[in-house]
Amino acid sequence: MSFDSKLTRRTLVVNGLVGATAVITGCATASRNSEIDKLPLVQDDDPVALSVAYYSNTKNVPDDNPLTTSHNVNQKCSNCTHKRAYVGADRIICGTFPGRTVSVDGWCSIYAKG
Ligand code: SF4
């Protein structure tokens, strides 16, 4: 067996392991993404949402709620420091609502500029 044939076999084995790892990692990522995609969207009338004055659209935040006095229409979940990750283009994972998602256009009284 020549050096070249050993190198070729070694290269094939290494490449095979790298390829298999990539497939396994890809499957795990797809599975995790699938689970994240299933996270429910918080509704405005949800008890936790009501307790923090969450509104799914910052344009609908009323002025007459004591919890919304700091609100302005440029503040929304997509530019909040509590945003953890996007789920698609229109939802966000936020630490205020574990296991659920909020609208990118939402707002709540915990908002802090990110
Ligand atoms: S903490 Fe920030 S990201 Fe979370 S719901 Fe409130 S405004 Fe949106």
CB 55 less than 6 A from any atom of ligand 1: no
In this structure, the answer to whether residues 32 and 12 fall within a common structural domain is: yes
Ligand 1 centroid from CA 28, angstroms: 28
CB 93 less than 6 A from any atom of ligand 1: no
In this structure, the answer to whether residues 58 and 110 fall within a common structural domain is: yes
In this structure, the answer to whether residues 55 and 96 fall within a common structural domain is: yes
| Cβ partners under 8 Å of residue 79, min gap 6 | 113, 114
Over residues 58-107, the pLDDT tens digits come to 999 999 999 999 999 999 999 999 999 999 999 999 999 999 999 999 99
In this structure, the answer to whether residues 32 and 44 fall within a common structural domain is: no
45-55 average pLDDT score: 98
* Candidate from 42, 76, 107, 113 with most ligand 1 atoms within 8 A of CB, to mutate: 107
Over residues 1-29, the pLDDT tens digits come to 454 555 566 654 555 554 555 455 555 66
| pLDDT attached to residue 34 | 87
Residue 76: which CATH number?
4.10.490.10
Per residue, what are the HEC states of the chain?
CCHHHHHHHHHHHHHHHHHHHHHHHHHHHHHHHHHHHCCCECCCCCHHHHHCCCECCHHHCCCCCHHHCCCCCCCCHHHECCEEEEECCCEEEECCCCCCEEECCCECCCCCEC
| Cβ partners under 8 Å of residue 50, min gap 6 | 44
Domain that holds residue 73: 40-114
The total domain count for the chain is: 2
CB 107 less than 6 A from any atom of ligand 1: yes
Q: Exposed, middle or buried, 112 (CB in 10 Å: 0-12/13-18/19+)?
A: exposed
